[in-house]
Amino acid sequence: MQNSAIDEPAALGLRERKKRARREALIDATHRLVAEHGLDAVTVDAICEEAGVSVRTFFNYFETKDDAVLGHTPWPLESAAADVFAAGGPTGHLMLDLQALVSSFLSDPPIGRERLARAIELAAKEPRLVARHLAWFEQHKGQLSALVERRLGQDGPHSPEMVGAVLLFLTHATFLRWDAAGGHGDADEHLASVVSELRSILSD
Amino acid sequence: MQNSAIDEPAALGLRERKKRARREALIDATHRLVAEHGLDAVTVDAICEEAGVSVRTFFNYFETKDDAVLGHTPWPLESAAADVFAAGGPTGHLMLDLQALVSSFLSDPPIGRERLARAIELAAKEPRLVARHLAWFEQHKGQLSALVERRLGQDGPHSPEMVGAVLLFLTHATFLRWDAAGGHGDADEHLASVVSELRSILSD
DNA sequence: CAGAAAAGTGCGTTCACTGCAAAGTTGCAG
DNA sequence: CTGCAACTTTGCAGTGAACGCACTTTTCTG
């Protein structure tokens, strides 16, 4: 409502800008209240009052209350990076390209860094949120497997599902490690350390 | 109510036997109805009527409706196998012992094979159930990490969380593969194939 | 068989979430 | 700048999950 102009280049219409501002306002309101009272003590009604929006509208933006904390948004899987991966790039080595893909996911988060950090902080205290986050991941596993299959075909040595699962695992583990490190630094380093630790465990 | 005598050696009291019979009756009733009408079209009321039990009782057995489909029960983590693992056994090689542990989980399912198979079958059609199952896994991740830490200490080369995550991954992946194979055969073979495929992906 | 412990049940309540149709906004063409 | 089409927001009424509580029934123990 107030300073949305500094966020977006205004290349988008008023409608779209308002929509985003509202989504963010709802996420912020949810974060404020949940941080203060805890997830279960906060009703959707309260969130909507805080954000100045009707309850019905809330559910036009998020499927569940938990999603508002996590800022869940449709998965940006139609990215350029995904196409590159499907086409066999960027390096041609499966494992390296998987890492590039994970890296692209992590470097382009669906909500801003600070909001993301706050969401993780809250999730650490509310196990249900972690579960929901995982469930959201899982929902897109099909798409992920399909992406992998676009690259490998279904007759290769690896099953697309397994590769997809690895992709998910790496993304999640790196994500956690990045957060454990205080949310600083590049996701890539953490990813590399996750991969090497995984290798080391498997060959022990 | 009817043939519970053949299931249990009656070493347990009547109370315990009835409890188990009821839990199973509830799971079966849920399976029947959900298979026929779909998860969302089945109310807890309907399940309870089918099973001849009050709604309030239903929620004494399961936290949520979804849990009744999945037959979720407290995690049997206090098993002998867990203790052996924590003590550094059975072989002393981390990866082999992890596999032994996964194997012990899988060979001692919390509900009977047929019920389990039916649960998976339903879960394949109802994404929410997969999500819930994962969430349930996740809930026990802390315990799992603690178990790993009992064995490794917190100053080893591997973080207990990562090893715990691997444990979860293997269990889940093997589980799916076992089911994909029609629920036949030994879990161990599937586990071995999962591990080897994982290694192969990581070193590609 | 009596009293303790545990399990089952009925009732009332809260609250997440949905469908629908009316009212308000924004985009666009003339 | 006007009016229509497309999109959004909102109120309302309803469904159903899940929980707390007090009460009855069942099982266990001595």
Provide the pLDDT for residue B12.
75
Per the prediction, chain A carries an average pLDDT of: 85
pLDDT tens, position by position, A63-89: 999 999 999 887 766 778 888 998 888
pLDDT tier for residue B50 given thresholds of 50, 70 and 90: very high
Q: Which chain B residues are within 8 Å of A199, Cβ to Cβ?
A: 202-203
Beta-carbon contacts of residue A166 (< 8 Å; ≥ 6 apart): A98, B198, B201, B202
Torsion sign, CA atoms A15, A21, A25, A26: positive
> Which of A16-20, A75-79, B13-17, B179-183 has maximum average pLDDT?
A16-20
Helix, strand, coil proportions of chain A in percent (round to 5)? Answer: 70, 0, 30
pLDDT tier for residue B79 given thresholds of 50, 70 and 90: confident
Stronger pLDDT, B161 or A32, i.e. the higher one: A32
Please report, rounded to a whole number, the percentage of residues in chain B having pLDDT higher than 70. 93
> Cβ separation of B204 and A162 shorter than 8 Å?
no
Provide the pLDDT for residue A6.
38
pLDDT of A5 > 80? The answer is no
- Largest interatomic CA distance in chain A: 57
Provide the pLDDT for residue A182.
74
CA B191 to centroid of chain Cα atoms: 15
> Cβ separation of B135 and A134 shorter than 8 Å?
yes
Q: Which chain A residues are within 8 Å of B134, Cβ to Cβ?
A: 131, 134-135, 138
Between residue 30 and residue 89 of chain B, the positions with Cβ below 7 Å from nucleic chain D are 42-45, 55-56, 59, 63-66
pLDDT tens, position by position, A158-175: 888 888 889 889 988 888
pLDDT of A9 > 60? The answer is no
B170 touches A at CB < 8 Å: no
Other CB atoms within a 10 A radius of the CB of residue B12 amount to 12
Residue among B187, B53, B78 at smallest CA distance from B143:
B78
Nucleotide nearest A45, from its CA to each C1': C15
> Cβ separation of B138 and A130 shorter than 8 Å?
yes
Tell me the C-alpha distance between B189 and B170, whole Å: 13
Contacts 24+ apart (CB under 8 A), B73-78: B73/B23, B73/B110, B73/B111, B75/B140, B75/B143, B76/B108, B76/B110, B77/B140, B77/B143, B77/B144, B77/B147
pLDDT of B123 > 70? The answer is yes
Provide the pLDDT for residue B10.
52
DSSP letter for each residue of B21-60: HHHHHHHHHHHHHHHHH-GGG--HHHHHHHHT--HHHHHH
Tell me the C-alpha distance between B52 and B194, whole Å: 43
A&B contacts, CB < 8 Å:
86
**A60 close to A97: Cβ distance less than 8 angstroms:** no
Stronger pLDDT, B66 or B146, i.e. the higher one: B66
Provide the pLDDT for residue A11.
65
- Minimal CA separation from B32 to chain A, in Å: 25
Tell me the C-alpha distance between B161 and A167, whole Å: 18
pLDDT tens, position by position, A173-203: 888 888 777 767 777 889 999 999 999 989 8
Residue among A42, A18, A21, A17 at smallest CA distance from A30:
A42
pLDDT of B1 > 50? The answer is no
For residues B41-50, give the mean pLDDT: 97
B194 touches A at CB < 8 Å: yes
Out of B10-14, B54-58, B105-109, B145-149, pick the least confident: B10-14
Beta-carbon contacts of residue B20 (< 8 Å; ≥ 6 apart): B4, B7, B8
pLDDT tens, position by position, B161-198: 888 889 889 988 888 888 777 767 777 889 999 999 99
> Cβ separation of B169 and A169 shorter than 8 Å?
yes
Q: Which chain B residues are within 8 Å of A203, Cβ to Cβ?
A: 95, 199
Tell me the C-alpha distance between B81 and B102, whole Å: 10
Please report, rounded to a whole number, the percentage of residues in chain A having pLDDT higher than 90. 38
Identity of the amino acid at B135:
A
DSSP letter for each residue of B86-151: HTT-SSS-HHHHHHHHHHHHHHS-SS-HHHHHHHHHHHHH-HHHHHHHHHHHHHTHHHHHHHHHHH
B125 touches A at CB < 8 Å: no
Q: Which domains does chain A have, with CATH numbers?
A: 1-69 (1.10.357.10), 74-204 (1.10.357.10)
Tell me the C-alpha distance between B30 and B36, whole Å: 10
B169 touches A at CB < 8 Å: yes
Q: Residue B8, CB, less than 7 Å from strand D? A: no
Provide the pLDDT for residue A67.
96
